[in-house]
Amino acid sequence: MKRIMLDIDGVLADFVLAYTREAVKLGFLENPISTIDQPTWSFDGIGLTEAQGKEVWQYIDSQRFWWLEKLPSLMTAQQTDRIRALKYANELYFCTKRRAPETASISIQYQTQAWLENTIGAGGMCVIPSMHKGEVAKALRITHAIDDRPENVVEIAKTVSETYMFTRRYNELVYYPKRVADLDAFLRLLESQ
């Protein structure tokens, strides 16, 4: 029985595509950009000024069901089948730093859980919204983790030796030895152990 911690944005969901679609609607960008093509983490890297980036966030924060309705999945049908199978035999935790605005009436946890259940096609998805992924991983005695953000990977890897960085353009220059090039590689690794 493995206790697996999965990141969502940049790994399972294309947050940047959803975010930049809003920037296009607000007239700040010509075209949206996928997390697959995103060159850096900064607003600058996706062609927005800081003020424009904050305005997009304000718009997102004003929408009740944005996180449930607007996030494109990065998973194929075959991958969701495999995640479902893994869930039946292991403990899966979806830990996210998504933050809810003070004014939100619908919680991030509820929206994220509903999105995962709709997308993966199984109930009982365990979502943990937390800014402290390392502490969460330690408390849950996580055995395997995946994340695309170097800071998170380093924090989680302090207690979880099987922590993998999901390689994306925006993290490929960061030195970290345990990497997976795609979700299939991480799923294969979990299925083989």
- Minimum CB distance to Mg ion, residue 167 (Å): 12
Other C-beta atoms within 10 Å of 116: how many?
25
Burial of 114 (0-12, 13-18, 19+ CB in 10 A): middle
CA distances from 124 to 90, 102, 128 (A): 13, 26, 12
- Which C-beta is closer to Mg ion: that of 97 or that of 138? 97
- Minimum CB distance to Mg ion, residue 7 (Å): 4
- Minimum CB distance to Mg ion, residue 1 (Å): 25
- Which C-beta is closer to Mg ion: that of 26 or that of 68? 68
Residue ranges in the chain assigned as alpha helix (H): 15-25, 50-62, 66-69, 77-89, 108-120, 133-139, 150-157, 183-192
- Which C-beta is closer to Mg ion: that of 14 or that of 148? 148
- Minimum CB distance to Mg ion, residue 30 (Å): 25
Query: Contact at 8 Å (CB) between 2 and 145?
Result: no
- Minimum CB distance to Mg ion, residue 105 (Å): 25
Residues 6+ apart with CB under 8 A from 172: none
| Residues in contact with Mg ion by the rule CB under 5 A | 7, 9-10, 148
Shortest-Cβ-distance residue relative to Mg ion: 10
- Which C-beta is closer to Mg ion: that of 26 or that of 57? 57
Residues 6+ apart with CB under 8 A from 167: 179, 180, 181
- Which C-beta is closer to Mg ion: that of 7 or that of 155? 7
- Minimum CB distance to Mg ion, residue 35 (Å): 9
27 dihedral zone (left: phi>0; alpha: psi -120 to 50; beta) = left
- Which C-beta is closer to Mg ion: that of 143 or that of 171? 171
Query: Contact at 8 Å (CB) between 122 and 144?
Result: no
